[in-house]
Structure 1
Amino acid sequence: MTDRPDAPRPRLRPGGIVLAFALALLLGAMWQWSNVLLMGFGAILIAIALRAGASLLNRRTGLGFKPGVLLSALAAALVIAGVVVWAGPSISEQFQQLLGSLPAAWDQVSDWLSGSSVGQFLEQRMENAQSGGGSPAPEGTLPSLFGYVTGTLTTVFGSVANLVLLVTVAIFLALDAPLYRGGALRLVALSYRPRAAQIADELGRALARWMGGQAADMLLVAVATGLGLWLLDVPLALVLGLIAGLTNIIPVVGPFLSGIPAVLFALTQGVDLAIYVALLFVVIQQVEGNLLMPLIQRYAADLPPALTVLAILAFGGLFGFGGIILATPLLLVTIILVKRIYVEDVLGDRMGD
């Protein structure tokens, strides 16, 4: 059977072509400027925290939002400066001791592995992999030292500049949040603008609750870890507890990142102490995961663990280490957008919750 010659053929509409081209251009720009978008998302999180502080001051003292934002930023800066002045030298000294002790702990682990069949197999595989690659550049030469110093300085100055830029953008966003919110909503069609405003407000509330719950969780984990290590008479309990609290922002992976250096350092003090430290981290993470986190998620957001792990892998692959740190709030935003826009508005399923 052949098509009739007078059968209508689908035509490409100019509007559809322009829309497809614009969408492709937008996706390409997002991919090219992914780091800028990630920094912008981080600035939004900080701005939400500053607005929360300003809102608290407004309810308690009647202070306006703009002075409240500036006062909240100043208070946060003073707290950070106070911690640095009060505990900075001790933390720096303990951190240097921790870094200095890790090679000795790794030597003990290497000696133990070399005496086992599994360790010998892994060592042989690593030697074969190294022999198959190109010869490394000789260490200690002037070019290698110059490259190391230059790379270190570039990293340090780049990180400081990004941090200053991030905080600056966050303060501007917090000062004029209604202005930027209104400008973003004007990009939405008039018929969808009320729904977009509703979803934007929900995103702001969800991210604010997540930050509050995450801050409480990190603080409790840091205090519990530091106190437990101190009771076990483990040196450097302060810095190890601080590392445990900071890395707890990364779900699932964070406890391993903080537990490994703690166990390795305790190994230099004895095998028994290393076992006790490992048990301490297991107990704290069990209590945090089964008791503390469910209570926090009732207030903040209940995120499926499987999706959380996939989000860490996905956003980490897209944005690097910054994507790993912000994987949970990015997942939270994604879930809300999919639920409200696709499930409810497109599919018409109002039972999505």
Structure 2
Amino acid sequence: MAGSDSSGGQPSQVTLKTAFTVCFAVVLVATLVVLIIKAEVALILTGLAALLAVALNHLVALLMKRARLRRGPAIAVVLLVLLVAASALGLIVVPAAINQGQSLVNQVPELTEKIRASRVFQLLDQRFHVLQQLQRQSDNPTELASGALAVSAFHAVTGVFSVLGAFATILFLMVFMLAFGPELVKRLLAQTLPERRPRYEGVVSKVYSATGGYLSGLILICTINATLASTCLALLGMPFFLPLGIASGFSSLVPYAGPIVAGGFVTLLTLTTVGAWKALAVFTYFMMYGLLEGNVLAPLVFRRTVHVNPLLTLFAVVFFGELAGIIGAVLAVPLMATAQIIVRELLLIRREKLGDRVPVP
């Protein structure tokens, strides 16, 4: 009979409105995925600006509470102090780091030849044919050499403008988020149902506290890493200790994996410049510091501030690093913390609906 199913003769429960709703939801999700893929750079810049705004907003709130300033003057004071501190650090560290970095770049061909002549590289080349893999990257060296200078200059200019544009975008977004972000969040929460508003406010407060704690701890870890690495390399007589120490500090932005990669690179560079014994000392230092950061510093940050399990942290770094590169790995921990907070609240809501009032630990 028309309009009935084959099992019980009952009319179909799928109406035209239901089918249209499902199709619309599928199209909406597909459109959202395409927009996220197309706007990847904008999302990354917005995420970095949001992280910086959250970190600075803790200082703004503290200044408003202690000095009893209004929000506008408090933001101005925080930004001014940050500018003065960055300028002072730049005048002290940046010139020496640039000089040592230029010296390192000038010695790249010589260092490359030393690496190729080393016994370790020869063993790796015999096993994995490294030189053949590198030669395959340049099938036509004459064609590449003909326009190499123009292409390099073009890439250098566009790269500088891209970095400056990204920096300006992050700066303006951060300032506007500091100035208007809290009020916007309050207005959005005011539009929710009164009985659900406290729960939403609690979620926002937890995400805000977790992100701020993560950033403050991460800045401390990066500073400790850069200071100790620069000091160790300087004591060992490494000629490029300052840029390498700064790079080692920035490697802590990628939890767990970053210091390991930086330590391996610095050890290899030390081996080719100042000898095997000092390279062994550098390797020992990075092993000891890796244990310190992985077992003491990182747990203090990720477990006591964002309350994220180290295994989940590593999964998040691998996943978001694959999606968005280094920036994704940097944003992995706060994103995982936010997802964990939301999942906990959803599970708590489900338990309450089932009648179980025992709180989730």
2:209 is aligned to 205
Structure 1: distance between partners of 2:187 and 2:139: 54
Residue in structure 2 matching 1:234, options 235, 238, 251:
238
2:156 is aligned to 152
Structure 1: distance between partners of 2:239 and 2:316: 36
1:179 is aligned to 183
Contact persistence 1:210–1:300 (CA under 8 A): yes
Contact persistence 2:260–2:290 (CA under 8 A): no
**Can you list the C-alpha shifts for 1:26-71, whole angstroms capped at 9, x where unaligned?**
3332232222222212111111122111122223322222211121
- Are 2:237 and 1:269 aligned? no
- Are 2:105 and 1:105 aligned? no
Q: 1:8 to 1:251 in 2, by over 3 A?
A: same
Structure 2: distance between partners of 1:310 and 1:106: 34
Residue in structure 2 matching 1:85, options 72, 88, 91:
91
Secondary structure of the equivalent of 1:140? helix
Report the identity percentage. 22
- TM-score, with length taken from structure 1: 0.88
- Following TM superposition, by how much is the alpha carbon of 1:205 offset from its aligned partner in structure 2, in angstroms? 0.8
Q: 1:223 to 1:336 in 2, by over 3 A?
A: same
Secondary structure of the equivalent of 2:233? helix
Q: 1:114 to 1:262 in 2, by over 3 A?
A: closer
Structure 1: distance between partners of 2:139 and 2:360: 55
Unpaired segments ≥5 residues, structure 1? none
Contact persistence 1:266–1:277 (CA under 8 A): yes
Contact persistence 2:252–2:258 (CA under 8 A): yes
Aligned residues: 350
1:280 is aligned to 285
Secondary structure of the equivalent of 1:139? helix
Residue in structure 2 matching 1:36, options 39, 42, 49:
42
Structure 2: distance between partners of 1:252 and 1:170: 28
- Are 2:22 and 1:22 aligned? no
Contact persistence 1:54–1:66 (CA under 8 A): no
Contact persistence 2:302–2:309 (CA under 8 A): no
Residue in structure 1 matching 2:329, options 292, 316, 324:
324
Structure 2: distance between partners of 1:160 and 1:202: 34
Contact persistence 1:255–1:285 (CA under 8 A): yes
- Following TM superposition, by how much is the alpha carbon of 1:87 offset from its aligned partner in structure 2, in angstroms? 2.0
- Following TM superposition, by how much is the alpha carbon of 1:171 offset from its aligned partner in structure 2, in angstroms? 0.8
* Root-mean-square deviation over aligned CA pairs: 2.8
Unpaired segments ≥5 residues, structure 2? none
Q: 1:33 to 1:185 in 2, by over 3 A?
A: farther
Q: 1:151 to 1:352 in 2, by over 3 A?
A: farther
Structure 2: distance between partners of 1:38 and 1:109: 36
Q: 1:147 to 1:229 in 2, by over 3 A?
A: closer
Contact persistence 2:303–2:309 (CA under 8 A): no
- TM-score, with length taken from structure 2: 0.86
Q: 1:128 to 1:61 in 2, by over 3 A?
A: closer
Matched residue type, 1:284: Y
